[in-house]
Amino acid sequence: ETGVTQSPTHLIKTRGQQVTLRCSSQSGHNTVSWYQQALGQGPQFIFQYYREEENGRGNFPPRFSGLQFPNYSSELNVNALELDDSALYLCASSRDSAGEETQYFGPGTRLLVL
Amino acid sequence: RKEVEQDPGPFNVPEGATVAFNCTYSNSASQSFFWYRQDCRKEPKLLMSVYSSGNEDGRFTAQLNRASQYISLLIRDSKLSDSATYLCVGNNYGQNFVFGPGTRLSVLP
């Protein structure tokens, strides 16, 4: 069974640029959630995708957007990067969106915005 | 007030000690709860789910008190390898995971 994978592992961007982060869900999982984790804090929910549709969104501005593909992999796009967007971005997959299912996390992408 | 709050920590304990972490949640609609552990610069990994009846997995015991909206994690006979940040997580049915800020544990030789 393949676990959750993310790419790239690290990324450095400058303010105003755009970034795309990628996630492949664990086999058999159809739901992908994205989280932002700033240093010293717990992960904060960005949004969730279930069967290619957004299925819930946290308190993040519209410049954070996403996609889910038919194979359940997903992308997180962030436009007009700000310094505060520097964080670890985590993707988690689960078997369904019902909420009781455990979420399994990928290793994350570390984004640094200069 | 944050939806999930945890002991601020850090906890520094000697090997073999028993340590307890507390967590409270404000959303009474939360249905399921978990403890995750996160090693430095790594992703969170599931430690255990938390049930109202309480559950135990080896040296780890988790308890949920819905009336008090309180969750606990007890670690007995601490090992050096238990050093990590412990994240309390609540999940509203059909919605997202809500993480607490985490409590850092250092087990000292």
Kindly indicate the confidence band of residue A97, based on its pLDDT and cuts at 50, 70 and 90.
Answer: low
**pLDDT at res. A24:** 96
Q: Which residues of B touch A99 (CB under 8 A)?
A: 31-32, 91-95
Q: Which residues contact A74 (CB under 8 A, 6 or more apart)?
A: A22, A23, A25, A32, A34, A49, A66, A67, A68, A91
A34-64 pLDDT per residue, tens? 999 999 899 999 999 998 999 889 999 999 9
Q: Which residues of B touch A102 (CB under 8 A)?
A: 34, 46, 49
User: Which amino acid type is present at position B81?
Assistant: S
d(Cα B107, Cα B70) in Å, to the nearest integer?
25
Nearest CB partner across the interface for A99, out of B42, B45, B93 = B93
B55-96 pLDDT per residue, tens? 899 999 999 998 899 999 999 999 999 999 999 999 876 567
- Chain B closest-CA separation from residue A26 CA (Å): 14
How confident is the prediction for chain A on average, in pLDDT? 92
Tokens representing B49 are 């789910």
Bridge partners, residue A111, by sequence: A11, A87
Helix ranges, B4-79 (H): none
Task: State whether residue A108 sits within 8 Å of chain B by CB.
Answer: yes
**pLDDT at res. A102:** 83
**pLDDT at res. B9:** 86
